[in-house]
Amino acid sequence: MTLVSSPTSKLDANLAVALDALLTEQSVTRAAERLHTSPAAMSRTLARLRRVLQDPLLVRAGQAMVPTPRAVELRDEAAAVVRGLEALLTPSGGIDPAVLRRTFTVQTSDLVGAALAPGVLDLARRHAPGVALRVLAEEWEAGPAVREGRIDLEVGAIDHVDPETRVEELVTLRMAAGVRAGHPLTEGTLTPARLAAAEHVAVSRRGRFTGPLDTALAELGLGRRVGVALPGHLAAMALAAAGDVVCLVPTALPGEPPSPLGDAARALGLRLLDIPLPLPPLTIGMAWHPRHTTDGAHQWLRGAVRRVLRPARRD
């Protein structure tokens, strides 16, 4: 499939960029804002694209505009063309962090954000004082947010992989049972039966009460009682610190340096107990759009995240 409708049709680079903006935003006004031009100029460009491609591309449906089937077919190809232009015309090379002025937007969980923000801000104060960090809560769909440029970086357990998304694994952790000091499970040997008999708090953005621990217990004919499901780890840890409930806490693998993701649990005084069951490991990574790969400022951000979340590389 090509972006031109006949061998004699010609589509210049500016039209390709405009086509990508129009098909992404599905709005003349928003596409104009994205390309820093006027709605009138963007309307003229849309008219030109319609003539070149011999298709309406966007048609009105009530108060919105919707793409035609042809536009839907062209959307990914248009985006790929623009990415190629960006890669071609973006010079490689570093950037001086001392003169960097940038606000980065990172989407992550509350626990990862609590570990990440202090470390990145410390590095920024010392090396890149013009950098600010905006941390957003996890959304249902992180892929579009990365692709559309609404976030610079997603950090966490990356459970989506769009074809163009770049993903880098940072650290692999295991889950431990977090309980307050003096909890009955801190006395004696922790067995699967004792763990199942305790009251638990689950962490799920979707309000789920079950997870890998329940699967492992079920294989032994055991089940646990979850009294509450909370959307974030920090709230679950606070609940465990205040009463006799068990929460799951990501912690370093045996023999590895302590993970900063355990800092909140340690600050709350939680005891971390080894779970006597084979649970799948938790891999924390970061995902970004390839248009940022060679950007010097974004390279600084990714380097800062690595230094914070890979304990061996922390300052």
Q: What is the pLDDT of residue 80?
A: 84
pLDDT > 80? residue 139: no
Instruction: Identify the weakest region by mean pLDDT among 21-25, 103-107, 160-164, 301-305.
Output: 160-164
| Average confidence (pLDDT) over 52-59 | 92
Beta carbons of 107 and 150 less than 8 angstroms apart: no
- The DSSP 8-state label assigned to residue 3 in this structure reads S
pLDDT > 80? residue 162: no
The first and second tokens of residue 109, run together, are 């969980």
* % of the chain residues with pLDDT over 90: 63
Beta carbons of 39 and 32 less than 8 angstroms apart: yes
Quick one: the chain helix, strand, coil %, rounded to 5?
A: 45, 20, 35
Tens digit of each residue's pLDDT (9 = 90 or more) over 8-31: 344 577 888 899 999 988 999 988
- The DSSP 8-state label assigned to residue 277 in this structure reads S
Q: CA of 81: how far to CAs of 105, 127, 235, in Å?
A: 25, 36, 45
Beta carbons of 168 and 291 less than 8 angstroms apart: no
Q: Which helix (H) or strand (E) holds 167?
A: strand 166-179
The first and second tokens of residue 123, run together, are 């590095």
Q: What is the pLDDT of residue 141?
A: 61
The first and second tokens of residue 84, run together, are 């190629």
| Average confidence (pLDDT) over 108-116 | 94
Beta carbons of 261 and 115 less than 8 angstroms apart: yes
At 226 the three-state DSSP class reads strand
Q: What is the pLDDT of residue 1?
A: 41
Tens digit of each residue's pLDDT (9 = 90 or more) over 190-214: 999 999 999 999 999 888 999 999 9
Beta carbons of 203 and 231 less than 8 angstroms apart: yes
Place of tokens 């939680």: 270
State how beta strands 245-252 and 153-156 pair: unpaired
Instruction: Identify the weakest region by mean pLDDT among 98-102, 273-277, 301-305.
Output: 98-102
What is the value of pTM for the model shown?
Answer: 0.67
Q: How confident is the model at residue 315 (pLDDT cuts 50, 70, 90)?
A: very low
Tens digit of each residue's pLDDT (9 = 90 or more) over 213-267: 999 999 999 999 999 999 999 999 999 999 999 999 999 999 889 999 999 999 9
Select from 117, 154, 146, 149 the least CA-distant residue to 133: 117
The first and second tokens of residue 251, run together, are 């912690």
Instruction: Identify the weakest region by mean pLDDT among 42-56, 160-174, 283-297.
Output: 160-174
pLDDT > 90? residue 274: yes
Q: Give the whole-angstrom CA distance, residue 302 versus residue 12.
A: 34
